Structure 1
Amino acid sequence: MNSVRSVFYSVFTSMVLTVPLLAADPGVTDKEIAIGSSLALSGPGGYLGTQTNHGMNAYFKSVNEAGGINGRTIKLVAYDDEYNPLKCIENTKKLIETDTVFALSSFVGTPTVGKSMPLWKNAKVPLVGMYTGAEPILRNPLCRYNLHVRAPYSAEASAIVDAAVNNLKFKKVAIFYQYDSFGESIKKNAETALAKYGLTPVAYGTFDKATLDVKAGLAAIKAASPEAVIMVGTYGTHPILATFVKEAKSAGMTQTVFFTPSTIGPEDYAKELGSDAGNCVVSQVVPPYDDPQLSVAGEYKRLLKKYYPGDSPNFVGLEGFVNAKVLVEGIKRAGKDLTREGLVDAIEGMSSCDLGGITVTYGPNDHEGMDKVYLTCIKGGKYTEIKDWTNIK
């Protein structure tokens, strides 16, 4: 009889002990939470992916050193996709099926994110934060497992137009854009923003990413005598846009204000402009990392120096850092019994959540954490948020 009781007790105990393991979502153990990322760590977009990764991982490392979350440390599994959509698909499949990560974070690029989205959407694996502001497919319609942190491209276009019309009192705005689907989409965003004020662009100019020749586009725009030019290009086009600004000023457009969204790579753009940075405005989706009044900026710079001493602070890295803060806050709020659905619910419950001077708000019908766009100018080679517009024109 005692032997029967012993066997029953052993079986019962075994079942009880294994229930939490059976109930746990993939990527979660008693000691660890696995987070996956696919991003460009080499190739033309290598800077974007590397800095996003370093910003994200710097925060994860600090969380781990402080004891983790509910006794669990974060394990980051990151793969290089070279900004190649097919490689991103392979990486995402591996992260979900082989590495069985709990969640994804900080994917980089519209084409890579767009092509890999069906994988995590169908597997119901949350992706928290991505380096793209594209809206069709990725944001509209809303997907429960896409949790954006940055503002969309349309918000950047609106902020630029609002500043040109309201702050600078301009009515004559031209658009100089990259001649492809990306440039066309941001052009339409700018046109929509102008239409709110009953305005249409006074001129258009286009450029090819493969050449620095901006003469045709500049001639078309200069003929309309615009007060402002909205310039649109992807990362890596900063030499072209800087060339446009320099040649425009040489041609007499010294009072024109040149606006650019964050997509170009702000630090490289500032270096390329050099002494011609006057009257140049760049929209950003995170605040300047040199702002002494923002604790998140100081925290990012301190941790970047600690874990990646060879890196210089930058907007891309700060965005990855903020992505990580949103994910960690969501995991904390989801509680010790961690599930993917619980993580999504927890993030959707974040309202006016202060991450150190940056506020994010989510909801069941709102998966865009940050709505604010920061308009910056270049002073002494550094970006500062524009508070007074009187010195811009």
Structure 2
Amino acid sequence: MKTKTLITALGLFVAALAPAAMAENGVTATEIKIGMANALTGPTSGLGLGVKSGSEAYFKKVNAAGGVNGRKITLVSEDDGYDPPRTAAATEKLIKKDNVFALFGYVGTPTSKAALSMAVDNNVPFFAPFTGAEFLRAPVNKQIFNIRSSYFNEIEMQVERLVSDAGVTKFGLFYQEDTYGKVGKEGLQLALQKRKTSIAAEGHYMRNTEDVDAGLAALLAVKPEAVLMVGTYKACAALVQKAHAAGYKPKFFNLSFVGTANFIKAAGEAAEGVYITQVVPSPFDDSIPIVKQYQADMKAAGVHEFDYTSFEGYIDAAALVEGLKKAGPELTRAGFLAALEKMNVNLGGLDIAFGPQDHQGLNKVYLTKVHKGKPVSVSKL
């Protein structure tokens, strides 16, 4: 009799444990844990803080309305200082200690690369990194989903406008000496090869520094008509300021990753006339429904300054939530990834779609020019 009672009790104990054992990492009946590692301190902190503030504003609204299928989103954030070894350590913590459901909102190419193998090896979704690097797009990886357009797309537009609108034939490149800079250099080489030309001069600098003197000297030796910059806001601002001081004023172009508001603030008057390609619509154009929503939700979160970086974080969060909704109440990583591959949604006037062979949600590139201290949309140079 005692044996039978013991077996029954043991069976009930195992049954009670079964739901917990079968539960997906980072998911409970009331919570979904999302992990984020990016630069919250250091010379690139404006980007990490921007992405975080925009995404938090959206998550706050979703949670206030009851969450996703009854589960509220908890964002577990780590500071990596835009330093790949710190990114790797933070990612390991997020996956193995914090047990997050997915990784989200990483900022940077070298930092994303440092996190990627851990995400893939542990079957953790890697969603909406703030980088246009090609290795996150081709070949398609089942774990990786990008929202923003690629750097290759941005650079192709820059070169097309410079050639078609301004007749530029001599192109210069200023880049960060790491994976990010090399991806940008490859994109420029491809765009110029299509037009049977090549880079006329190039200079570089080291990540997390503003030591641009050697890079500027290399450009001044040739003085190309246009300089494409593949760097972060402080270094690019320093280059433009020092170039102007030396009497060199080519057509300067920045990629979206520079962080438009941060660049304009850092460069001051030297920012005037600099072109920046963007991968999301203007955060100031409230005729677009999602922009109006973004502005209202940022204000509700206590943020009254709008910029491209926080707006991109907001869009990324909105897309993530749509994917979670479509995965259904029985949330698993496999179900989430499968739902994303079928996702085609309109987020307040912005169409985001994925497919089995296309894990990039947006493809459009927008051109802006700094005018009177603000980024203004332009169609031609």
2-structure distance, mates of 1:244, 1:135: 31
| Counterpart for residue 105 of structure 1 | 104
Asked if the contact 1:235/1:264 (under 8 Å) is kept, the reply is yes
Does 2:260 match 1:266? yes
Find the residue that maps to 1:230 and give its secondary structure.
strand
- CA displacement, residues 255-293 of structure 1 (integer Å, 9 cap, x when unaligned): x53322123221233235555555421111222211122
Which ranges in structure 2 are unaligned for 5 or more consecutive residues? Answer: none
How far off its partner does 1:12 sit? 8.3
Change in 2 beyond 3 A, CA 1:308/1:334: same
| Counterpart for residue 350 of structure 2 | 358
- CA displacement, residues 335-354 of structure 1 (integer Å, 9 cap, x when unaligned): 11111011111111113x22
Give the paired residue count. 373
Amino acid aligned to 1:140 = A
2-structure distance, mates of 1:31, 1:235: 40
Find the residue that maps to 1:299 and give its secondary structure.
helix
| Counterpart for residue 382 of structure 1 | 374
1-structure distance, mates of 2:176, 2:35: 34
- CA displacement, residues 280-324 of structure 1 (integer Å, 9 cap, x when unaligned): 211112222111222222222221222133x62221111111111
| Counterpart for residue 293 of structure 1 | 287
| Counterpart for residue 363 of structure 2 | 371
Q: TM-score, normalised by structure 2?
A: 0.88
2-structure distance, mates of 1:385, 1:365: 32
Change in 2 beyond 3 A, CA 1:186/1:244: farther
Find the residue that maps to 1:236 and give its secondary structure.
helix
Q: TM-score, normalised by structure 1?
A: 0.85
Asked if the contact 2:147/2:361 (under 8 Å) is kept, the reply is yes
How far off its partner does 1:18 sit? 6.0
Q: 1:325 aligns with which of 305, 318, 325?
A: 318
Task: Map residues 176-191 of structure 1 onto 2, 5 A cutoff.
Answer: 176-178=173-175, 180-181=177-178, 182-191=180-189
- Percentage of pairs with the same residue: 34
2-structure distance, mates of 1:33, 1:215: 47
Does 2:169 match 1:172? yes
Find the residue that maps to 2:376 and give its secondary structure.
strand
Change in 2 beyond 3 A, CA 1:374/1:118: same
2-structure distance, mates of 1:142, 1:215: 37
Q: 1:305 aligns with which of 296, 299, 309?
A: 299
Change in 2 beyond 3 A, CA 1:23/1:66: same
Asked if the contact 1:291/1:384 (under 8 Å) is kept, the reply is no
Deviates more, 1:102-111 or 1:14-23: 14-23
Task: Map residues 145-164 of structure 1 onto 2, 5 A cutoff.
Answer: 145-164=143-162
Asked if the contact 1:107/1:131 (under 8 Å) is kept, the reply is yes
Deviates more, 1:116-125 or 1:190-199: 190-199
| Counterpart for residue 133 of structure 2 | 134
Find the residue that maps to 1:131 and give its secondary structure.
coil
2-structure distance, mates of 1:302, 1:17: 45
2-structure distance, mates of 1:261, 1:119: 28
Q: 2:342 aligns with which of 341, 349, 357?
A: 349
| Counterpart for residue 283 of structure 1 | 277
Change in 2 beyond 3 A, CA 1:260/1:221: farther
Change in 2 beyond 3 A, CA 1:349/1:274: same
CA RMSD after TM alignment: 2.8
- CA displacement, residues 145-175 of structure 1 (integer Å, 9 cap, x when unaligned): 1111111211111111122233x05241411
Amino acid aligned to 1:175 = G
2-structure distance, mates of 1:366, 1:319: 20
Amino acid aligned to 1:327 = L
Asked if the contact 2:82/2:108 (under 8 Å) is kept, the reply is yes
Change in 2 beyond 3 A, CA 1:356/1:122: same
Asked if the contact 1:177/1:184 (under 8 Å) is kept, the reply is no
How far off its partner does 1:97 sit? 1.8
2-structure distance, mates of 1:18, 1:70: 23
